[in-house]
Amino acid sequence: MAAFDKPNLIADAGLVPLVRLAERLNLPGLITYRLRIDQADNCGGAPAAKAMSLVAAMSAGADSIDVADRLRHGAMKALFARVRAPSTLSTSLRSFTHGHNRQLHGVHQDFLARLAATTPLLPGVGQVAFVDIDPTHRRVFGRSKQGAEVGRFKGVRTLHPILATLSTPLARPVIAAVRLRRGKAADARGAGPFTAEAIAAARQAGARGTVVVRADSQFYNADVVAACRRAGVRFSVTVRMNPHLAAAISTIPETAWTAIRYPEAFVDPDTDELISDAEVAEIEYTAFTGRRKAEHVTARLIVRRVRRLNAEVAAGQGELFTAWRYHPVFTDSPFEVLQAELQHRRHAVVEQVIADGKGSALAHLPSGSFQANAAWLTLWAITHNLLRAAGALAGAFHAKATTETIRAHLVHVPARLARTARRLTLHLSRGGPWQHAFADLFDAAHSPPTL
């Protein structure tokens, strides 16, 4: 038998410290200050209340606007006074324009800077930091969805987000910048300005030391490298093989190659095999020689070569000659060659963030309006960074955990709400496995602000 008769129960008690942390760092105030949406046209009142409702819903795992209704069950109204209905949130998102989304990007960058300054979100960011840029595609359905087009995947209509993450050797990545593009947009479209925006966000978040921008071959272009050099940061970009590169690599003497073993095997992009051992060498290389001379860039070309195995060789027959597959990286990294190569291969950490998004808010881009989906994307970025900060405050385990694990351990916590002497108390289960982590997060979120 089931009876729905307890009005003082809560399924997601972890939203209390999360929302308190956001309020302590004045996220509602940043939204009110930055976001200039006419309240007469923005159903439901102040933009901050609706944005905070969406951030809270995404923190609890909402992958569509309708799921935001989970914030209005049981005793939630006693804890959160300005939660908006899904219909109001949908109307609010549809009121966004391109200008409003640029303003929301400013909120995202300011909030990341506050999180980095007041929580252990990015340990070591002042010494060495990495900005990783990568695109992704999200499948959508319905021809009326603005910007949805058949692009990279045959017969599949997509929207095409691009994101930049910020990480350190000690910290999991957070989101520095996001942008939504139409499905057919080239991967590198607008890559130069986007790179500059991501670097500015990294600097604002405390990346004052060595900063290396890492990217795959689709971002090997003069605009990206020029943006890095103007900002005074380093770059490390994969290069596709071409005759000019092949000629340069052929000049590397055999004695220059150094064996390298990767502590974590990676998938070879040519064969889909796991690779642990390879050889590395470097030479000086001048890129973008097809452009005017002022745009030529001379830097290091670090080349990884992997032995190509001939599957057709009969058993017991030796190789007539050794064949190799070459994977070059164009970089001005200040680190020695083996370290620079290992660091570049760790660019794949950006995929962890994309996977986190596809498992939560980016499972769907919920609106038919392109600008509404762009706002949804930026609010997810704000939420992702908030969850990462909450994990860092909860302890070492959750600082490295995925956002899904943070939700499972620290957000989806059932509780009973009681009121005693005008004071609200959350009663949680005794002896839970993550009791101390939740208590650390709760205490840190409710401590006096330092900003």
Residue 4 predicted with pLDDT over 90: no
Do 406 and 400 meet the contact criterion of CB atoms below 8 Å apart? no
Q: How confident is the model at residue 45 (pLDDT cuts 50, 70, 90)?
A: low
In angstroms, the CA 444 to CA 196 distance is 33
What is the pLDDT, as a whole number, of residue 272?
A: 66
Residues in the chain: 451
Let me know if residue 323 belongs to a domain.
Answer: no
Range with the poorest average pLDDT among 160-174, 254-268, 385-399, 434-448: 254-268
Let me know if residue 373 belongs to a domain.
Answer: yes
Residue 320 predicted with pLDDT over 50: no
Let me know if residue 50 belongs to a domain.
Answer: yes
Residue-wise DSSP of 265-290: EEE-TTT--EEEEEEEEEEEEEE-TT
Nearest to 392 by CA among 17, 31, 126: 17
Q: Please give the share of the chain, as a percent, with pLDDT higher than 70.
A: 92
Let me know if residue 81 belongs to a domain.
Answer: yes
What is the pLDDT, as a whole number, of residue 261?
A: 81
Do 58 and 67 meet the contact criterion of CB atoms below 8 Å apart? no
Helix, strand, coil percent values for the chain (each to nearest 5): 40, 25, 35
3-state SS record for 143-205: CCCCCCEECCCCCCEEEEEEEEEEEECCEEEEEEEEEEEECCCCCCCCHHHHHHHHHHHHHHC
In angstroms, the CA 54 to CA 48 distance is 10
Q: What is the per-residue pLDDT across 399-442, written as a single tens digit (0 to 9) for each?
A: 999 999 999 999 999 999 888 877 888 888 888 889 999 999 99
The region, left, alpha or beta by phi > 0 then psi within -120 to 50, assigned to residue 381 is alpha
In angstroms, the CA 406 to CA 413 distance is 11
Let me know if residue 54 belongs to a domain.
Answer: yes
Residue 40 predicted with pLDDT over 60: no
| Residue range 41-49: mean pLDDT, rounded | 68
**What domain range includes position 29?**
9-97+369-439
Let me know if residue 413 belongs to a domain.
Answer: yes
What is the pLDDT, as a whole number, of residue 269?
A: 66
The identity of residue 153, as a single letter, is F
Cβ within 8 Å of residue 184, ≥6 positions away: 149, 150, 151, 160
Residue 319 predicted with pLDDT over 60: no
What is the pLDDT, as a whole number, of residue 436?
A: 93
What is the pLDDT, as a whole number, of residue 44?
A: 47
Q: How confident is the model at residue 268 (pLDDT cuts 50, 70, 90)?
A: low
Q: Please give the share of the chain, as a percent, with pLDDT higher than 90.
A: 63
Residue 315 predicted with pLDDT over 60: no
Residue 12 predicted with pLDDT over 70: yes
Q: How many domains does the chain have?
A: 1
In angstroms, the CA 312 to CA 300 distance is 36
pTM of the model: 0.92
Let me know if residue 184 belongs to a domain.
Answer: no
What is the pLDDT, as a whole number, of residue 143?
A: 79
Let me know if residue 179 belongs to a domain.
Answer: no
| Residue range 17-34: mean pLDDT, rounded | 94
